[in-house]
Amino acid sequence: MNILLLGSGGREHALAWKLAQSSLLEGGGILFAAPGNPGIAGHARLVALDARDHGAVLRLCEEQRIGLVVIGPEAPLVDGLADSLRGAGIAVFGPGAAAAQLEGSKGFTKDLCARAGIPTAAYRRAGSLAEARAALDFFTLPVVVKADGLAAGKGVTIAHSREEAEDALAALFAGQFGDAEAVIEEFLEGEEASLFCLTDGATILPFGSAQDHKRVGEGDAGPNTGGMGAYSPAPVLTGTLEAEAIRRIIAPTVRAMADAGTPYSGVLYAGLMLTRSGPSLIEYNARFGDPECQVLMMRLESDLGEVLLACAENRLGTIEPARFAPASALTVVIAAKGYPGTPETGGPITGIEAAEATGARVFQAGTARAADGRLVAAGGRVLNVTARGASVAEAQARAYAGVDRIGFADGFCRRDIGWREVAREQAG
């Protein structure tokens, strides 16, 4: 069959790489990607398509007889593209708009957790600056201030003083994130881990764990980003803790969504805080993590196309559990200088083949071809240099060996991706 993958980041490059190996494409099937990027072009036929134009996506699906649509990023999910496709009888991997609120609205998710008894930080929602200021009285410091809407991971402030909290709220209500409202939360202490589960609204298929590095600077300093690197699996999320997270967080969420008549179908990505009293939900995302997807795909042994199609066709209960290599995978994000502020785009990139000759795999995110055909930076996060190893330390060494072959003078990366786990490995 033919498959259409939507998106243009490093996550989609990793998905395209695995989908291109799927048995679904046997017999002449074509993988299309829209809009894609120069890396994705190595695995898929790129088509110019604006995912906001549902009519255009439907026309392409009809013209090219697409048997499965895989939606990578959150914006088209929150925008209801999966509903339009399902309405037309097309198999689609990704939740509809109502279910994607689990990512699109932090307030929605917090209210659902409260009703279902799901462990998460205590919170208050506020629709105005006055309400938000009053809500601050209910929390001790530090306190967490969040914009209630899609903010690409940048809408969260951990305020260590009342003044800092008020400043964040003032900026938020002055329109820093559009007309977002505020969620104010208790600060949770612990280590973070990401858990991925596929669900078709009934069956839950665990799909791996990872640890992200959200801050721009080494030692987890500086502003939040979309993620500067990741590794998988995350050994801090032990089998026992993963089972507890599925039982106390994922399963009641899937049940609540089904009971509300808006079953969740797709990947449910839980950002967890591993607190002293167990896993607590920080947030849900309605898509794969970026760059966590890159390390999951690096380990995945199952046929990605088969699994995503089974999810889209509500038959996850009939397939085998997903198989992942026990090895560790680690990815280092190379970003353009200026990120997560305004990145310097246009800088030339060389050395991808040399990096891959070391055994690493380079997933492309914000890249483009200049008029003369050279590869240049075209976004904040530009490359994801990814490698496997028997330990996180080995995967880390191999990923940085790849990084060191890349020529990108206008870029930078963290040199410490995986540091928590490497320290634990060294401590034995």
192 scored as a contact of ligand GLY (CB under 6 A): no
Rounded to the nearest 10°, the torsion over CA 363, 369, 372, 374 is: -20
CA dist., res. 368 & res. 348, Å (int): 10
8 Å CB contact between 37 and 365: yes
Interface with ligand AMP includes 192 (CB under 6 A)? yes
Which of residues 34 and 270 has its CB atom nearest to ligand GLY in the complex? Answer: 270
CA angle, 343 then 347 then 352, to 5°: 110
Nearer to ligand AMP, 22 or 285 (CB): 285
* Interface characters, 223-242, with ligand GLY (x: CB under 6 A): ---xx---------------
Q: Which of residues 239-298 bind ligand GLY (CB under 6 A)?
A: 285, 289-290, 292
* Shortest Cβ 141–ligand AMP spacing (Å): 12
| 153 scored as a contact of ligand GLY (CB under 6 A) | yes
**How far apart are CB 136 and ligand GLY at their closest, in Å?**
26
Residue 23 carries which DSSP code? G
Place of tokens 């590095």: 213
Q: Which stretch binds ligand AMP (CB under 6 A): 45-53, 93-101, 150-158, 255-263?
A: 150-158
* Site for ligand AMP, residues 171 to 190, rule: CB under 6 A: 185-188
Distance of CA 308 to the CA centre of its chain: 16
Q: Is 389 in the site for ligand GLY (CB under 6 A)?
A: no
**Beta carbon of residue 74, minimum distance to ligand GLY (angstroms, whole number):** 8
With CB cut-offs between 5 and 8 Å by kind, which of ligand GLY, ligand AMP, none does residue 227 bind?
ligand GLY
| Min CB(224)–ligand GLY separation in Å | 10
In the bound state with ligand AMP, the residue whose beta carbon lies nearer, of 73 and 389, is 73
Residue 288 CB, shortest distance to ligand GLY, in Å, is: 7
Which residues inside 224-243 make contact with ligand AMP, applying CB under 6 A? 224
Measure CA of the first residue to CA of the last residue in the chain; give whole Å: 48
- Identify the burial level of 257 via C-beta atoms within 10 angstroms of its C-beta, where 0-12 means exposed, 13-18 middle and 19 or more buried: buried
Rg, Å, the chain Cα set: 21
Residues 408, 287, 42, 291, Cα dihedral to 10° = 30
Task: Output the DSSP codes for 376-391.
Answer: EE-SSEEEEEEEEESS
Q: Which is nearer to ligand AMP, 200 or 283 (CB)?
A: 283
Concatenated DSSP letters for 177-235? EEE-EEEEEEPPPSEEEEEEEEESSS-EEEEEEEEE--EEETTTEEEE-S-SEEEES-T
- Which parts of this chain interact with ligand AMP (CB under 6 A)? 121, 144, 146, 153, 156, 158, 185-188, 192, 214, 224, 271, 282-283
